[in-house]
Copies of this chain bind each other. A is one copy, B any other.
């Protein structure tokens, strides 16, 4: 009845590989051997190749002809360039969210912020999970499917960069404040200010990634 989200071996391989790349289980700079991984996953090279190409199209692997697939190893310039893209997309999303949000969108955003605060007071350092949830909720409110899709892909690459730079920072407090302010401007329907606040938020996050990186 439920059309199983992926029954295809290639689809499953995409999920498994993506997880392994994003968690750093396959470390940046390392190579992905087709036969080896295929055997490990218990599938043939065909579906695995499709999975590899798919992840490459998401920017999670880079393909070198006749050499294979590598987990990209990134430097500070990549962080800056990627955040230029992220800023373009998420500022636009913030603007759209400010003008399109419904009341339930607003409640959802406030809920995420509240949970972050609660979590923070409980001692935990603002898990990345909640940051993602916030941006995702904001994106839903923007109701722009193409922008949403691209943001999803960019955020994935940001996660990869984190592991590549050996950076695991709780940027915590400042980000929570940014999020709160963003929600307020979105509540007001102030598109221009939402964009400005988002830009400041992202430039702060970017700066922190650059300073806390081990390179």
Q: A residues engaging B (CB < 8 A)?
A: 6-8, 46, 49-50, 53-54, 57-58, 65, 81-82, 84-85, 87-89, 91-93, 96, 144-147, 150, 154
Please give me the residue from chain B that is nearest to A142 by CB atom.
Answer: B84
Distance in angstroms between the alpha carbons of A50 and B81 in the assembled complex: 29
By a CB distance below 8 angstroms, the chain B residues around A145 are 81
Distance in angstroms between the alpha carbons of A150 and B46 in the assembled complex: 28
Please list 7 pairs of residues, one from A and one from B, whose beta carbons are closer than 8 Å in the complex, sorted by A's number. A7-B65, A49-B50, A53-B54, A57-B57, A82-B146, A85-B144, A85-B150
How many Å from the CB of A98 to the closest CB on chain B? Answer: 14
Determine how many copies of this chain the complex contains.
2
Knowing A50-B49, A57-B57 touch, does A92 contact B81 (C-beta < 8 A)? no
By a CB distance below 8 angstroms, the chain B residues around A53 are 50, 53-54
Distance in angstroms between the alpha carbons of A181 and B144 in the assembled complex: 29
Knowing A8-B65, A50-B50, A65-B8 touch, does A84 contact B57 (C-beta < 8 A)? no
Distance in angstroms between the alpha carbons of A89 and B96 in the assembled complex: 14
Task: Pick from A7, A91, A146 the residue with the most CB of B within 10 Å.
Answer: A146
How many Å from the CB of A87 to the closest CB on chain B? Answer: 7
